Amino acid sequence: MSGSKSSDVFSARVPSPPPEPLGDHVLGLTVHSLPPAGDAVAYAERTRYGRWKLLLLLLVCAAPVVASYFTYYVIRPEARRNYGELIQPQRPLPPLPTTTLDGRPAGPLNALKGQWLLVSVSGGACSAACEQHLYLQRQLRESMGAGKDRIDWVWLIDDHAPVPAALLPALRQATVLRVDAKALAAWLQPAPGQQLADHLYLVDPMGNWMMRFPAGLDRAGAAKAKRDLERLLRASASWDEPGRAEQH
């Protein structure tokens, strides 16, 4: 009994150990330092620069097509001093039925789009003026050098007269089609006081008749027409590519 009492007294005199501090064992926090203010500003500048660079790249890609058509379809003709007369509004190639020289169906006329088309019109008998136009069409195309593959020279025959056999070898690189005269006259038109056969006509790769060269074109006039063609080919070089001419 006395032993039990002494044990209780001893337990009462020995103090309990103090509780462990909570700081390091219950919750730990990791504190990251913030970036310096200068780094944040530099990051924002880089982001802004990247956006401007992307916008500039998009503008550069679109600029050639926009510029070429702005130059030829918005600026006044007087400021450009073209030799050929611009057609406004432009007239798209109609789906007129065509036939070959031997009378076989050749598909609609608007199937010719996709190339620059240098077009002449006459009867199949081909007068001296017709032969002059065919010669100048060939010479103009050949004078474009590597650019000639972007141009087709086209002779549209508006009657059923046979073509002279002596002329056929010179037409190997030409597109020669017969088209109804009345239907053709509803699309192409000569200058006042002139006939349809008096001019050369230019159609763009999208199929729009967009220029008419003066009547009675001679070699001196062809040199001026060549400058018009060269400017048009340069202006459209970024989006227009050789097409059917490579197959001739």
pLDDT digits (tens, 9 = 90+) for 81-135: 789 999 999 999 999 999 999 999 999 999 999 999 999 999 999 999 999 999 9
Give the least confident one: 54-63, 67-76, 183-192, 204-213: 67-76
Q: What percent of the chain has pLDDT over 90?
A: 60
pLDDT at 9: 43
pLDDT band, very low/low/confident/very high, at 154 (cuts 50, 70, 90): very high
**Cβ-based neighbours of 211, under 8 Å, separated by 6 or more:** 82, 84, 85, 86, 87, 201, 202, 228
For residue 186, is pLDDT > 60? yes
Evaluate whether 118 touches 152 at the Cβ level (below 8 Å). Answer: yes
Nearest to 157 by CA among 121, 186, 106: 121
The answer to whether 196 and 121 have CB atoms below 8 angstroms apart is yes
Q: What pLDDT is recorded for position 71?
A: 55
* In the predicted structure, residue 194 carries a pLDDT above the cut 70: yes
pLDDT of res. 11: 46
Pick the residue with more confidence: 154 or 78? 154
pLDDT at 29 over 50: no
In angstroms, the Cα distances linking 39 to 25, 42, 64, 74 are 36, 5, 39, 48
Residue holding tokens 């999208």? 206
- In this structure, of 41-45, 49-53, 227-231, 234-238, the range with the lowest mean pLDDT score is 41-45
pLDDT of res. 72:
52
The least confident of 22-26, 39-43, 68-72, 154-158 is: 22-26
Alpha carbon 41 to its chain centroid, in Å, reads 41
